[in-house]
Amino acid sequence: MTMRRQRPRIAWALGGGGARGFAHLGVLKVLKEENIPVDALSGTSMGAVMAVLFAAGTDLKYLSALATSISWEKFVDLRFPRYGLVEGKRIIPLIRLLTKGKKLEELEIPVRVIATDLLTGEEIVFDQGEIETAVRASISIPGIFTPLPYENRILVDGGVVAGVPVAAAAEMGMDLVIAINVAGELDSEAPRSVFDILYRTFEIMSKRLDGIQTEKADLVLSPEVGKVGTVQFYRAEECIEKGEIAAREALPEIKRVLEEFQYKKEERAEYGA
């Protein structure tokens, strides 16, 4: 009797990074073109945005065109409220539109969106409910976006506890976890505004945490996004290209990891382990 060959199932952990997160688009484009499986996704901050859009079946070419042509300033509702500089209300209709009004549990691919409870320090994992609510929580960089009150919690950016959500991906029941880290490099220029100081502080904290978390992944892709700033959304095209390059360069390694896992699985089955 011939045993039917079953491929490994892969969960992809998409890290946060503001504008650098557009590199995820480039990676996902290559994965789709090369028929590399995307069986589950976890995402933090911009990684969460890309995860839900991909899982909703949004056309990647359309997303790339949108990312490089849209005026992102229109979605930054600067009001100087008490607990943050940006209220974040304008992003909600855009996410709802692009995900076709679906809920997380209705997506074609399972997705977990990561946020942080400011009251307890807990990692909050969304796997059901309104996509726009989960994303709004996940992108709420402390001091920049106002926190999101949600079910007796106060939620901020998932990057506070899980910049690259490998642990959440590992809990999705897949065989392998591949992380995409878009941390980039720190800008050597001195901060010139309160925004710069806040973003830089968050980047330093996240960069240290990301290195620890990605150690638990089976493979890590790190697009060379350089010193693209967190809010330099006008550099979207550059980041998308860097993501494509990183994914194509990593294809042999991705395939090696898949084949190695499959070989070990078949070996265990053969010897009854």
User: Which range among 33-42, 64-73, 178-187, 239-248 shows the weakest confidence by mean pLDDT?
Assistant: 64-73
Band of pLDDT at residue 91, cut at 50, 70 and 90: confident
Domain boundaries defined on the chain: 10-270
Asked whether residue 199 carries a pLDDT value surpassing 90, the answer given is no
Band of pLDDT at residue 3, cut at 50, 70 and 90: very low
Band of pLDDT at residue 65, cut at 50, 70 and 90: very high
Asked whether residue 238 carries a pLDDT value surpassing 50, the answer given is yes
pTM: 0.89
Asked whether residue 191 carries a pLDDT value surpassing 50, the answer given is yes
Paired tokens of 136: 């709004």
Q: What is the DSSP letter of 101?
A: T
**H-only helix segments in the chain:** 23-33, 46-55, 60-69, 91-98, 131-138, 166-170, 194-213, 236-270
The average pLDDT across 7-16 equals 96
* Axis-axis angle for helices 23-33, 60-69 (nearest 10): 160
Q: What's the pLDDT at 134? A: 98
Q: In angstroms, what CA-CA distances link 128 with 43, 65, 254? A: 14, 29, 29
Residue 35 burial (CB < 10 Å; 0-12/13-18/19+)?
Answer: exposed
Measured from the Cβ of residue 204, the count of other Cβ atoms closer than 10 Å reads 11
The average pLDDT across 37-62 equals 97
Q: How far apart are CA 47 and CA 25, in angstroms?
A: 10
Band of pLDDT at residue 273, cut at 50, 70 and 90: low
Residue 27 in contact with residue 221, Cβ under 8 Å?
yes
Q: What's the pLDDT at 1? A: 37
Q: What's the pLDDT at 77? A: 45
Paired tokens of 123: 């990692």
Query: Mean pLDDT in the chain?
Result: 87
Residue type, 38: V
Residue 134 in contact with residue 96, Cβ under 8 Å?
no
Residues annotated as catalytic are: 45, 157
Buried b (16+ CB within 10 A) or exposed e, 223-245: bebeebbbbbbebbebbbbbbbb
Paired tokens of 62: 């359309």
Band of pLDDT at residue 181, cut at 50, 70 and 90: very high
Residue 242 in contact with residue 225, Cβ under 8 Å?
yes
More confident residue, 173 or 271: 173
Paired tokens of 232: 């330099």
Band of pLDDT at residue 241, cut at 50, 70 and 90: very high
Q: What's the pLDDT at 70? A: 75
Q: What is the CATH number of domain 10-270?
A: 3.40.1090.10
Asked whether residue 78 carries a pLDDT value surpassing 60, the answer given is no
